[in-house]
Chains A and B, each alone.
Chain A
Amino acid sequence: MTVGIVSVLFVAAAMVAVGAFAAAWRRDATAALAGIPLMFGGAGIAFAGVARFSARAAAAVQPPSTQIVVSVSGPPLGQEAAVLIAIAALALVAMGVGLAARAARIQGARQETSR
C-alpha cells in the first residue's frame, strides 16, 4: 500500500469539490459558509502533498519534463501555504458570519416595515 502525489491530489480535489457543493447547495448563507474551510482545507492538503512528494530543492532544479526525477526536497513552501490558507479560511468565515448576521437583521427589518 503506497501513497503518492496522485492520491493526495485526488483527496484534495474531492475536498474542494465537496466544499464548493456545500457552498452552492445551502440556501442559508451562514450554512454555506461551512464550505469555505472545506475548500481551503482541500487546497492545503494539495500544498502539503506537493511539499511532501514533489517539491524539489532549489539547488537541484532541473529542466521541466514529464519524466520522473528523483532529488532532494526543498524548503516546505507547501506547508507554509497550507498554514496561511487555514488562517485565511478562519478569517473569511468570521467575516462572513458577521456580514450574514447583519444581512439577516436588515432583511428582518424590511419585512417588518412592509407589514
Chain B
Amino acid sequence: MDSPHAIGFFVSSAIALGGAAFVALLPGRELRSLALLVAGLGVTGVDVSLSAGFAAAVVLVTFAGCAAMLARPDYRTFNWVAGRAWRQLGALGAALMFAVLAYAAYRGGFAHVQFNGGWLGTAAVGRLLLARDTFATEAVAALVLVALVVLTLMWRSRDRER
C-alpha cells in the first residue's frame, strides 16, 4: 500500500472510530444519527483505501439508511436495561473483547499476498454474489424482506391506533 492510501486509511480510521465513540456517548437522536453517518463515512474511506470500492458504496448507503431510521421524528424511547451494574458489565465486556481481538490480531501469523484486483471490484464481487454464493445472497435478501415486512406492520398498527 502506497503512502496516499496509507494516509487515507489512517485518517478514515480516525474518523470512523471518532464517529463511533460519539454514537456511543452523545445524547439526542439527531446528534447520534449524525455521528453514525460520520462513522459510516470513515468506514467507507477505510474500505476505499483497502481497494474495496463496491463494498464501500454499499456500506455508505447502509449507514445512511440506519442513520435515517434512528433519526425518525416519531422516536419513542423504550428502556430495555434496568440495572446500572448490567450496563457497566457490558462495557467491561466490550473492553475485554477489544483486548482479546487486538491480541489475536497482533499474535496471528498471516499470509501476505500481492493484491491483483482493481480498486472497485464490482465485477468480481458481483460474480461471487450472483453466481458462486447465490444462496447467501438470497438469505440476506430474505432477511431484508422480513425486516421490511416487520417495519411495515409496525407502521400500519401505529396508524390504526391513531
Hey, which bits of chain A sit against chain B, CB under 8 A? 1-38, 41, 44-45, 48-49, 51-57, 65-73, 75-80, 82-84, 86-95, 97-105, 107-108
SS of A interface (majority):
helix
Task: Provide the bound-state CA to CA distance between A12 and B39, in Å.
Answer: 13
Among A9, A71, A86, A89, which residue has the most Cβ atoms of chain B within 10 A? Answer: A86
Give the residue name and chain of the A residue nearest to B120 (CB). Answer: A79
Q: Are A11 and B80 in contact (CB under 8 A)?
A: no
Interface of B toward A, CB cutoff 8 Å: 1, 3, 5-7, 9-10, 13, 16-17, 20-21, 23-24, 29, 32-33, 36, 39-40, 43, 46-47, 49-52, 54-55, 58-59, 62-63, 65-66, 69-70, 72, 74-81, 87, 89-91, 93-95, 97-98, 101-102, 104-106, 108-117, 121, 124-125, 127-129, 132-133, 136-137, 140, 143-144, 146-148, 150-151, 153-155, 157-158, 161
Which of A13, A26, A29, A34 makes the CB contact (< 8 A) with B102?
A: A13
Establish whether residues B70 and A34, one from each chain, have CB atoms under 8 Å apart when the complex forms.
yes
Interface of B is mostly: helix
B87, A37: Cβ atoms closer than 8 Å: no
Q: Report chain A residues within 8 Å CB of B3.
A: 1
Once the chains are docked, how many angstroms separate the CA of A69 from the CA of B21? 36
Q: Which residue of A lies closest to B33 (CB)?
A: A34
In the assembled complex, which residues on chain A have CB atoms less than 8 Å from the CB atom of B115? 52-53, 73
A84 / chain B contacts, CB cutoff of 8 Å: 129, 136-137, 140
